[in-house]
Amino acid sequence: MEIMGLAPIVALEIGTSKIMALVGELREDNHIVITGMGEHTSAGVRKGEMVDFENARICVKEALGAAEETAQVAIHQIHLALSGGDIQSLVNRGTIPITSAAEGVTQDDVEQVTELARSVNLPAERQILHSIGQIFYVDGERVARPENFECNTLALDMLILHAQSNHIRNTVRLLRNDLEMDVADTAFGGLCSALAVLTPEQKEGGVLVIDLGGGTTTFTAYAAGTFAAAGAYAIGGDHVTNDIALAFNIPRMQAEHLKRERGSAITEESGGPSRIDLPAEGGYPGRNISLPGLQTVIHLRMAEIFQLILREIERKGIIHQIGAGVVLTGGGAQMKGLCKLADRIFRMPCMIGRPIGYSGLAAATEKPECSTAAGLLRYAFKNMAAARRRPSAWSKFTKIISGR
């Protein structure tokens, strides 16, 4: 079935812990209906990047096959979320003179300064993922829309997100050559998560979104209604599991179970036994470990992740513009005590973010771990609609990122 003339879209996220594929359709009221879902435990992926083609191929094929079955569609084209720890950002300013100041800034001037701001010299091994317009300046004064202003100079700050070229090409190669899938577009996973879980009011008030994955953690920040900062770290839930396994000399599978069932990001009184009996497993002897000790191990790693993001937000000078607080999403977001830890470190309220404005399969619309794939569907539909209208490059990116 086609809605609004747009065919169903398939969003694929190849994560360190899980492969997820969602099939979505767009209703006339811009509500997205999730009609298909496929997920599979990940193999051959480390820190969000491909390390074993064959294992990754099998996992992706299984996830796409499950999505095809639930949606009753044949999948030949996908949109791909990228969340590797090598994704970085920079702000580039483009400035042009306005030759006919009395006539005011024209649409041609806007397009010219946009192209200039987008033109950055990156190392040969880096590739631009997104170039997102932030703020216009006319004669140094900030304005929302510069058209018709009389001025001598027009400037634009552009947020450039870029990644390692080979990592992108290897993932696309796997999909195109090994699975015969057409890759329609790629998008930064952190941006997709924000598009899925935020309201326009949160964006306008300023908000920080942290997506906690298995091998990576991404963040995006809005300040004064502008997409202000983004980044990724090659640290995630798997590192917490490794920390537990090493701290208590237990197998990783046992450490993962402990993290999920008894773990907490803060040390607190449980009201129950303070020791945990662990049976012998995988050649490891049985153990009796301290529950506060387990919580301390988890706390130290999660605090490290949050502090890395806090320092970056402070460095960019936008920490005091984040009035709507912190939104946690991704597979690690529901860890016990995590919101309390974020409250303490960022000194602002924290909440768990789940996809907003979606219906259909409950499994895909209610879980924070589906935020990236769900947001990629929204990004793709907005991008396709904008392309049909053929707006200027500036207005296209503004509408997609801001949600207008």
Assign residue 259 the CATH number of its domain: 3.30.420.40
Whether the Cβ atoms of residue 321 and residue 224 lie closer than 8 Å to each other: yes
Range of the domain at 265: 199-353
Given a cut of 50, is residue 116 above it in pLDDT? Answer: yes
State phi, psi for 185 to the nearest 5 degrees. -165, 160
Residue 108 domain-assigned? yes
Q: Rounded to the nearest 10 degrees, what angle do helices 189-197 and 371-389 cross at? A: 90
Statement to judge: residues 339 and 269 lie in one domain: yes
Per-residue DSSP letter, 3: B
Number of folded domains that form the chain = 2
Q: How many CB atoms lie within 10 A of CB 149?
A: 17
Quote the pLDDT of residue 48.
78
pTM recorded for the entire structure: 0.90
Same domain membership, residue 338 and residue 215 = yes
- In-domain check, residue 296: yes
- Dist. CA 332–CA 334, nearest whole Å: 6
- pLDDT band with cut points at 50, 70 and 90 for residue 146: very high
User: Residue 68 — pLDDT band, cuts 50, 70, 90?
Assistant: very high
Q: CA of 355: how far to CAs of 191, 386, 395, in Å?
A: 13, 22, 25
Residue 175 lies in a domain: no
Residue 95's φ and ψ, nearest 5 degrees, are: -135, 135
> What distances in angstroms separate CA 116 from CA 96, 157, 176, one per listed residue?
8, 10, 32
Say yes or no to pLDDT of 11 above 80. yes
Among 353, 373, 394, which residue terminates a domain?
Answer: 353
**pLDDT 10s digits, 154-193:** 999 999 999 989 888 889 999 998 899 999 999 999 999 9
Cα–Cα separations (whole angstroms), residue 118 to 114, 134, 361: 6, 11, 39
Please report, to the nearest 10 degrees, the dihedral formed by the alpha carbons of residues 134, 140, 142, 148 taken in order. Answer: -100
Task: Return d(Cα 351, Cα 324) in angstroms, integer.
Answer: 10
Confidence band (pLDDT; 50, 70, 90) for 384? Answer: confident
* pLDDT at 5 exceeding the cut of 80: no
**Measuring CA to CA, which residue among 337, 329, 365 is closest to residue 202?**
329
Question: Do 210 and 324 lie in a common domain?
Answer: yes
Kindly report, residue by residue over 300-359, the tens digit of the pLDDT: 999 999 999 999 999 999 999 999 999 999 999 999 999 999 999 999 999 999 999 999
- Our measurement of the distance from residue 59's CA atom to the centroid of its chain's CA atoms, rounded to an integer in Å, reads 21
**What is the pLDDT confidence band of residue 131, given thresholds at 50, 70 and 90?**
very high
Token pair of 128 as six digits: 């631009």
Confidence of residue 271 (pLDDT cuts 50, 70, 90): low
Q: Which of 242, 300, 239, 231 is nearest to 47 (CA)?
A: 239
Residue type, 55: N
For residues 130 and 252, membership in a common domain is answered with no
**Alpha carbon distance 304, 291 (integer Å):** 20
Question: Which tokens belong to 229?
Answer: 């900062």
Domain-embedded: residue 366? no
Query: Could you tell me if 150 and 243 lie in one domain?
Result: no
Share of the chain above pLDDT 70, in %: 93
Do 268 and 156 belong together in one domain?
no
Q: Are residues 203 and 348 in the same domain?
A: yes
DSSP state of 284: B
Is there a single domain that holds both residue 160 and residue 273? no
At residue 366, the pLDDT reads 84
Note whether residue 267 is domain-resident: yes
Q: Estimate the crossing angle of helix 252-262 against helix 291-315, to 10 degrees.
A: 80
| pLDDT at residue 398 tops 70 | no
Is pLDDT larger for residue 2 or for residue 60?
A: 60
Cα-flanking dihedrals φ and ψ of residue 39, to 5°?
A: -145, 150
| CA distance between the termini of the chain | 26
Average pLDDT of the residues of the chain: 90
Predicted confidence (pLDDT) at residue 2 exceeds the cutoff of 50? no
Residues 115 and 204 in one domain: no
Let me know whether 207 and 346 are in one domain.
yes
Q: Has residue 46 got a pLDDT over 50?
A: yes
pLDDT at 105: 94
**pLDDT tops 70 at residue 393:** no
Q: If you ran DSSP here, which 8-state letter would residue 354 be given?
A: -
Please report whether residue 95 resides in a domain.
yes
CA dist 54 to 59, 67, 172, 216, 378, Å?
A: 9, 20, 14, 22, 30
Distance (Å, whole) CA 213 – CA 138: 41
d(CA 343, CA 1): 44
Tell me the C-alpha distance between 150 and 170, whole Å.
Answer: 48
